[in-house]
Amino acid sequence: MLKFDIEKRDGIARVGVIHTPHGDIKTPAFVGAATRATVKALTMKEMNELGSQAILANTYHLILRPGVELIKEAGGLAEFCSWHKPTFTDSGGFQIFSLPNVKITEESVKFKSHIDGANFEITPESSMQAQWAIGADIHMAFDHLAKSESYEDMKEAMIRTHAWLDRCVKENEKLAKLAKKNKEPEQYLYAVVQGGTFNDLRAESAKYCASKNPDGFGIGGVFTAEGMDKMLKTVNSILPEDKPRHLLGMGQEPIDIFVGAEYGCDTFDCVGPTRMARNGSLYTNDGRINIKNAKYKHDFTPLMSDCDCECCKNYNRAYLHHLFKTDEITAKVLASIHNEHFVVHLTDRIRESIKNDTFGSFKESFLSRYY
């Protein structure tokens, strides 16, 4: 079992440490989105220096390129991308179900590669095998993304996700035994809770996932922050307290991280911060700004005066504005360093505030200034 120590509680919020074979994660923590085994525009050295504790890669993308066998040959994801800290993989269910012409049966999902049209088939078993080959510390069970946000579609997706979870758990046990025999590092499985915005489905899914006794839980299928507090309260009051919970794909908006942590989530991942950075949309304590805006042309102040990232310590807004206007690669690099640093450190500050019993006042002062 994955070791998770809870050090402090405040309501259902908690501060803890997840112990993985590649090191510890102090939670709550923001996990960097390394979809294709890289965080866009950032080196792993930069990720390390900005304080990131863990990254999350996507199995779907790695199956297509470079192929999971190649990553295994390289010695696993951490070795391959030179990130010697904890790693997660998402199953890729979300990406596969978003493709056109996906054929879904009880048995498997068939789809065509978005790169060259080659045919692929993924089963819950093959998803587990692929994730073990990639070798991340923490895997997500293969889940079914709902066709729409309607109750019927959410229920159908949940039922299929539960059936597939049974198969993922079985396959995972087999692969774990094999790894133990071969004296390979342990890898851990998170079940994925579905149910959209419907509290009865979320409760049913949380109960089902908990009954399978996985190492932790992913909370999936959250598309908007609206109603997230109520949903997380339902789910996290049911999930066993002593296991970690990952809120999948949320954390673009600071309020998502506050609400996630307040309602008992331990880790978060989101492509939003670096994606926005590449478009010049940058976090500040006074809200997001678009650095391409003409008003920054003569602004020689740092992007954020109290940020100690490489971008804010060394460069000013006028320079960043110039880099974006001239489409320099460095614009994307510096902006990504800042935005990723911002969400990683915001989550660190949330962790400290829960520890110090100041979460409520920190949340209020941060959010009232930001929004």
Single out the segment in contact with Zn ion by CB under 5 A; choices: 130-138, 158-166, 311-319, 321-329.
Answer: 311-319
Cβ closest to Zn ion, residue 277 vs residue 311:
311
Cβ 297 to Zn ion shortest distance, Å? 20
Q: Residue 40 interacts with Zn ion (CB under 5 A)?
A: no
Lookup result for tokens 């999936």: 220
Nearest-angstrom CA–CA distance, 214 and 196: 21
Cβ 312 to Zn ion shortest distance, Å? 3
Single out the segment in contact with Zn ion by CB under 5 A; choices: 55-63, 136-144, 154-162, 333-341.
Answer: 333-341
Cβ 283 to Zn ion shortest distance, Å? 8
Cβ 273 to Zn ion shortest distance, Å? 12
Q: Residue 312 interacts with Zn ion (CB under 5 A)?
A: yes
Task: Please state, in angstroms and as integers, the Cα–Cα distance from residue 359 to each residue in 142, 155, 234, 259, 363, following that order.
Answer: 34, 35, 21, 11, 6
Cβ closest to Zn ion, residue 146 vs residue 277:
277
Single out the segment in contact with Zn ion by CB under 5 A; choices: 63-71, 276-284, 336-344, 358-366.
Answer: 336-344
Cβ closest to Zn ion, residue 14 vs residue 338:
338
Single out the segment in contact with Zn ion by CB under 5 A; choices: 22-30, 68-76, 218-226, 308-316.
Answer: 308-316
Cβ closest to Zn ion, residue 25 vs residue 344:
344
Task: Please state, in angstroms and as integers, the Cα–Cα distance from residue 322 to each residue in 168, 289, 302, 303, 338, following that order.
Answer: 50, 15, 14, 13, 17
Which of these is catalytic: 90, 137, 215, 256? 90
Q: Residue 346 interacts with Zn ion (CB under 5 A)?
A: no
Q: Residue 307 interacts with Zn ion (CB under 5 A)?
A: yes
Tokens of 259: 């609400």
The amino acid sitting at 135 is G
Backbone angles phi, psi at 298, to 5 degrees: -110, 20
Q: Is 245 exposed, middle or buried (0-12, 13-18, 19+ CB in 10 A)?
A: buried
| Residue from the set 42, 130, 191, 309 that interacts with Zn ion by CB under 5 A | 309
Q: Are strands 138-140 and 119-122 parallel, antiparallel or unpaired?
A: unpaired
Q: In 287-328, which residue ranges form alpha helices assigned H by DSSP? A: 310-314, 317-325
Cβ 281 to Zn ion shortest distance, Å? 14
- Residues across the chain: 371
Q: Classify 338 as helix, strand or coil.
A: helix
Cβ closest to Zn ion, residue 43 vs residue 113:
43
Single out the segment in contact with Zn ion by CB under 5 A; choices: 51-59, 197-205, 290-298, 338-346.
Answer: 338-346
Nearest-angstrom CA–CA distance, 28 and 230: 19
Cβ 282 to Zn ion shortest distance, Å? 8
For the question of residue 269 being annotated catalytic, the response is: yes
For the question of residue 308 being annotated catalytic, the response is: no
Q: Residue 109 interacts with Zn ion (CB under 5 A)?
A: no
Residue 189 sits at the vertex; the CA angle it makes with 111 and 23, to the nearest 5 degrees, is 120
How many CB atoms within 10 Å of residue 301? 11
The amino acid sitting at 262 is E
Q: Residue 276 interacts with Zn ion (CB under 5 A)?
A: no
Nearest-angstrom CA–CA distance, 333 and 309: 12
Q: Applying CB under 5 A, what is the total number of residues that bind Zn ion? A: 5
| Residue from the set 338, 353, 359, 363 that interacts with Zn ion by CB under 5 A | 338
Cβ closest to Zn ion, residue 20 vs residue 252:
252
Contacts of 358 (CB under 8 A, 6+ apart): none
CA 43 to the chain's CA centroid: 18
Cβ 309 to Zn ion shortest distance, Å? 3
Cβ closest to Zn ion, residue 93 vs residue 251:
251
Task: Please state, in angstroms and as integers, the Cα–Cα distance from residue 261 to each residue in 10, 26, 196, 266, following that order.
Answer: 10, 13, 19, 6
Which of these is catalytic: 137, 215, 256, 269? 269
Give contact residues for Zn ion (rule: CB under 5 A).
307, 309, 311-312, 338
Kindly list the catalytic residues: 90, 269
